[in-house]
Amino acid sequence: MREYEAFWLANKLVDLDIALDGDEAFDGDGPMEDVWTDIFDGEPLYVYPRREWTASDRYNFFDLNAVESNAKTVAALLTEYRGQPVVITVVTDRDKTWFEFFDSMNRIEGNLQMLADLFFEPGGWIEPKTDWQSGQSFDYNDANRLEIDVDLLFRLITKAFDHLKYCGTFYAGEDGEIY
């Protein structure tokens, strides 16, 4: 679990061979990218999102960095499989010394909507809020929306491309001999 004052790496990192048990601590003194570089030789492909925020939870800079890192991963997947560049602007170097708000929230949620528009809005999709203004409160419902939407996109895209069959491809008996 991500805790206030003790910023924890996510419980699971999805990178085929990489998984953490959640015991790696991060004190928030520098960008999360530095920790990812030290542990994983670069930014992980996907940080497993926390999808059940409550009113008593505290959302911190790492959580927003993770959402943006995941959106960047989704954009990279779409670029690879569409054959056309999918460019989004992300910020993943927040630390405990700064945290921007409404303009970044509009950008982040706009990125998620653009990614869905370029592919497909998955079932369970929660319409992004792209009209943030100064002074508006961010609560656990907003945190859940961000993390659920990026996770739904990632899961749908990876599942769709895992099952993609190319026209004209012979696909039968690959797991054994054909008699």
**Distances 40 to 2, 15, 19, 91, 147 between C-alpha atoms, Å:** 20, 10, 11, 19, 22
To which residue do tokens 């945190």 refer? 143
Q: How many CB atoms lie within 10 A of CB 176?
A: 6
Q: What is the dihedral of CA 34, 105, 161, 46, to 10 degrees?
A: 20
Strands (E), the chain: 7-8, 25-26
Amino acid of residue 56: S
To which residue do tokens 């992300």 refer? 90
With residue 149 as reference, give the H or E element that holds it: helix 140-162
More confident residue, 171 or 118: 118
What confidence score (pLDDT) does residue 123 get? 94
More confident residue, 94 or 108: 108
State pTM to two decimals: 0.73
Query: What are the tens digits of pLDDT across the range 8-59?
Result: 333 333 433 333 334 444 445 555 555 555 555 555 568 888 889 999 998 8
